Structure 1
Amino acid sequence: MKTICTTLLFLFGTVTISLAQKSYDDIVKQFASQPRAEYVRLGSFALKLARVFASREEAAFMRGIRSINVLSLDECDPQVKEAFRREALLLSESGLELLAEVAENQDHVRVFADIHNDKIRNFVVVSVGENPSLIQIKGLIDLAYMEKLVSDNT
């Protein structure tokens, strides 16, 4: 009887903890509906249209991108910004590798990526400073293109 109760308690705790963990998609859904929050999602169709007007090199980079999500809370109330900061700093990094973390004055930026076989599947930039925001790029982006993009712009 003791083992059954212990097993059930352990199972309940595991399920509760797994349901409590939020992903980046969850935080976008939660805060995109807040008053004065700005949320833009570019799907594959919009990205294909953008590729038509891009240079050959840029089009090759964009080919692997499936969607881009941008959440900006610049115009939101301070309470919403603070709630976003708390949620963003507590987010689980499950499946994502922390690439960079920068804290300067009031700004705190974290960059995550899900990298498999030299391809980036999910790229997330979270800023929890004065103007909180979250940028998420999903797709299969060649790591060589990303490295070239970074070196060209730094």
Structure 2
Amino acid sequence: MKKLYILLLFVLCTPLLKAQNFTKLIDKYKGKPDVTVLNLDKKMLSSMGKDVQQYGIEEIQILSLDECDKSLIQAFNKDIEAIKPDGEYETLVKSVEEDEFAHILIKAKDHVISEMVILSGEEDEGALVWLKGSLDSNNLGFVNYYLNK
């Protein structure tokens, strides 16, 4: 019975873990020299015009490592390359080349994307862009293409 409770707890908490991992990743690097963190909430996004609203984006979090210490960028790149999709998120696109890495993960149900995470790393920069809202994949051509494959 105890095993059943532990299993149930694990199943119920697993969806929170990936979002917490992205939050922890942002927290790990914010405040470091030459690291930029932007949080754009729904109110701020609404002032940016109808284009943003039309796509259903309610929040954007951006972590950017540009012109940072090389060891910091290498650590970030190692962290983002270690992120694997789970049952909650799925890989939309993943590209690994010599010194470049890109991974787009989405959390979607019935062609409505509630979260999209874009991870990008290069030799001299790295970034995480986390979109939240009710993004209609039909409004995002490249996403719709991959969802209908």
- Asked if structure 2 preserves the Cα contact closer than 8 Å seen for 1:36 and 1:73, the reply is yes
Aligned residues: 132
The structure number with the bigger radius of gyration is 1
- Asked if structure 1 preserves the Cα contact closer than 8 Å seen for 2:137 and 2:143, the reply is no
Q: Which runs of 4+ in 1 moved over 6 A?
A: 148-151
1:61 aligns with 2:59: no
Q: Among 122, 127, 135, which residue is 2:129 paired with? A: 135
Q: CA deviation at 1:91?
A: 2.1
User: SS in structure 2 opposite 1:35?
Assistant: coil
Question: Match for residue 62 of structure 2?
Answer: 70
Q: CA deviation at 1:148?
A: 6.9
Higher-strand-fraction structure: 2
1:89 aligns with 2:81: yes
Question: Match for residue 41 of structure 2?
Answer: 43
| 1:105 partner amino acid | E
Instruction: After superposing the two structures, state which structure 1 stretch, 28-37 or 134-143, moved more.
Output: 28-37
Alpha-carbon distance in structure 2 between the residues aligned to 1:112 and 1:77: 27
Q: CA deviation at 1:89?
A: 1.4
Question: Match for residue 103 of structure 2?
Answer: 110
TM-score (norm 2): 0.76
Q: CA deviation at 1:82?
A: 1.3
RMSD: 2.8
How has the CA–CA distance of structure 1 residues 76 and 148 changed in structure 2, closer, same or farther, with 3 Å as cutoff? closer
How has the CA–CA distance of structure 1 residues 104 and 119 changed in structure 2, closer, same or farther, with 3 Å as cutoff? same
**Structure 2 residue ranges without an equivalent (≥5):** none
Alpha-carbon distance in structure 1 between the residues aligned to 2:91 and 2:29: 23
User: SS in structure 2 opposite 1:33?
Assistant: coil
Same amino acid, percent of matched pairs: 20
**Structure 1 residue ranges without an equivalent (≥5):** none
Question: Match for residue 118 of structure 2?
Answer: 125
Q: CA deviation at 1:74?
A: 1.2
Q: CA deviation at 1:60?
A: 5.0
- What pairs up with 1:134-153 in 2 under 5 angstroms? 134-147=128-141
